[in-house]
Amino acid sequence: MALKYLIDENVNPIYPNHIRLPEPDIIIKVVGEAKTPPKSTLDPEILCWCEDNNFVLVTNNRTSMPVHLDDHIAANHHIPGIFILNPNLSIGENLEELILAALASQEDEYQDRIVYLPLP
C-alpha cells in the first residue's frame, strides 16, 4: 500500500497535480481542501490530523517542524512521517523522491521521523 500525503499549504501547488498525473493511485490531499485541516491551521494540529488519518506530511518547514514533532512525540502521539522538500533539488527531483517513497516504502517506515529529501 502506498504512503498517503498531506501537502502543507505553503508547498508549491504544482506538487499534488504532478504526483497524481503519473501515479493516480497515490492518495494526496492538500491543507485547505475538503476533509483536511483548513488553511492557517497550526502545525501541531496538522500533525494530529496526520496521525488520525495516517498521512505523511510534506512540507518546506525546516525550522519549527522538528520542534513540533518532538512535542508531538513527547505528548505520546505518533505520526506516519514528515518529508521536508529539498530547496537544492528541482521540483521534478523532489517529485521523483515523493513518488518513489510512496510506491516503495513500508507503511510505517518513516513513523515518528523527519526525512529530508532526497531519501537516504
Mean of pLDDT values over 59-69: 95
Would residue 11 count as lying in a domain? no
pLDDT at 1: 65
pLDDT bucket at 23, cuts 50 / 70 / 90 = very high
> To the nearest 5 percent, what fractions of the chain are helix, strand and coil?
35, 15, 50
pLDDT bucket at 107, cuts 50 / 70 / 90 = confident
Would residue 7 count as lying in a domain? no
Count of structural domains within the chain: 1
Query: Mean pLDDT in the chain?
Result: 95
Question: Whole-prediction pTM value?
Answer: 0.96
Mean of pLDDT values over 89-100: 97
Would residue 112 count as lying in a domain? yes
Give the DSSP per-residue string, 26-56: S-EEETTSTTSPPTT--HHHHHHHHHHHT-E
Would residue 81 count as lying in a domain? yes
Would residue 6 count as lying in a domain? no
User: Which residues constitute the domain of residue 56?
Assistant: 18-116
Mean of pLDDT values over 90-103: 96
